[in-house]
Amino acid sequence: MQNRLLVAALLLSVILLYTLQLIGHAAQPGPLSLSVLPMNGKAFTFGKPTTAFFTLKNTGDKAVVVTEILATDDAGAAPVVLSSSVYGGIGKESDGSYNFGEMVQDATREALHAGFLLPGQQVTVDGEYRSLARIARFTVSYLSSSHHYDGTAASLAPLDVYIADARKDPMSRTFHRFSAKAWHSISAVAMRTEQTGPGASDRAVLLEGDPGKSMCSILTVPCVTDKTDFVLNDARATAARISGHAKETVALSYSSALQGYVVAEKQDCWLLKSAGQTGRGTLLPAMPLSLPWDIDHYPVRVQVGEKQPFGITGHEDPAGWKLWEIYPVTYGDGMYTQGEFIQVTAKQFPAFLATVRVKGDSLTEHQYFFRSRYFKLAGAK
């Protein structure tokens, strides 16, 4: 009996030690590992948008280019983007190199990539994260070489990688075909990066030709978070019970402004606040789940009309009226935004949604310059 207790105690100790080692780090299926930690070094606060460090490591034997990290279970979460067009222009030179200039007032046709990793390399990306689960799932999208990396450009195929020379001009860079020595001089310094677009990372590379099929890894990350009784998995199960839909098909996202989960169901949304809830909560207008995500970060812009009396002004002029006698209306800048807009804060959000619902209206999302977006009343004229 004593031997059995001793074996059980030892086994429990091993499991506990392994669990502690995993905190803040992902399981490692496939060629990548991921950790997600709050920038302030403390635990995540449940439901609160937080600037976080996303650290990716290439644990395989092939080169990869990570393109995006997405919180899989939070339907409103914005992706952490490592591959994107950027502000400027790219042209191919007669010697086969590429010149990137930041003075061009446009978005590049070609993408630049900040997530290029040789075997054993890692990079940390700054991004926004909202902790809703004790065990969070992330979808990491990436491109991969087909061969074991041996230090040569040929072993990167089908990835045809061009890397930037050391900057001589702060507004331009020249990209040459990959060399291990040049890349190590860059990656050893640029181990941390911001997201790609509209700016270009110091570690950005360019890919020529067809890089092959994009792949995905689902990585689970235990996130250290403050205590809460109603985490995402419980909310999804509760929403499934109330709606009658399969748990894996439920789309929901948390809203600090509404103090609950927004559940999207066909043409309606509703509010879920507790595991004991027995029916659909406060009915909300149909909306993209990116809206409660955005408004927890900053005031959002909503287009309420299409009148644009001025051309390109570069600024937003007052329109001289208020929507519902509450929200001051301004015109767009004429370049990236056109029409009549209001601004809605987190404090105004519950009342705003209630009015939209009463008026039988709904909200849609409109994306423009890079990842910028605003929302639109479906009845805007």
Q: pLDDT of 125-175, one tens digit each? A: 999 999 999 899 999 999 999 999 999 999 999 999 999 987 667 788 999
CA–CA distances in Å: residue 289 to residues 131, 167, 296: 16, 41, 12
Residue 226 has pLDDT above 80, yes or no: no
Q: What is the pTM of this model?
A: 0.86
DSSP 3-state assignment of 307?
Answer: coil
Residue 267 sits in which domain range? 229-284
Residue 248: pLDDT above 80?
Answer: yes
Q: And the tokens for 4?
A: 């059995």
Q: Are residues 170 and 304 in the same domain?
A: no
Where a domain ends, among 203, 220, 237?
220
Q: Which of helix, strand or coil describes residue 330?
A: strand
Is position 375 within any domain? yes
Q: What is the pLDDT of residue 2?
A: 39
The tokens describing 57, both together, are 């490591």
Claim to verify: residue 66 and residue 161 sit in the same structural domain: yes
Does residue 64 fall inside a structural domain? yes
Residue that is last in its domain, among 175, 201, 220: 220
Radius of gyration of the chain (CA): 24
Residue matched to tokens 């601004």: 343
Q: What pLDDT, on a 0 to 100 scale, did the predictor assign at position 224?
A: 64
Task: Specify the pLDDT at position 206.
Answer: 98
CB 200 within 8 A of CB 373: no
pLDDT tens for residues 16-71?
333 333 334 444 457 999 999 998 777 888 999 999 999 999 999 999 999 999 99
Structure tokens at 45: 């606060």
pLDDT given at position 1:
43
Q: Read off the tokens for 172.
A: 């331009």
Residue after which a domain boundary falls, among 179, 202, 220: 220
| Number of domains the chain is built from | 3
Residue 296 is given by DSSP the state: T
Share the mean pLDDT of the chain: 89
Residue 69 pLDDT:
98
- Residue 238 to residue 89: CA distance in whole angstroms: 50
Q: Are 300 and 78 in contact (CB under 8 A)?
A: no
Q: Are strands 122-130 and 192-193 parallel, antiparallel or unpaired?
A: parallel
Predicted local confidence at residue 105, as pLDDT: 79
Return d(Cα 208, Cα 101) in angstroms, integer. 18
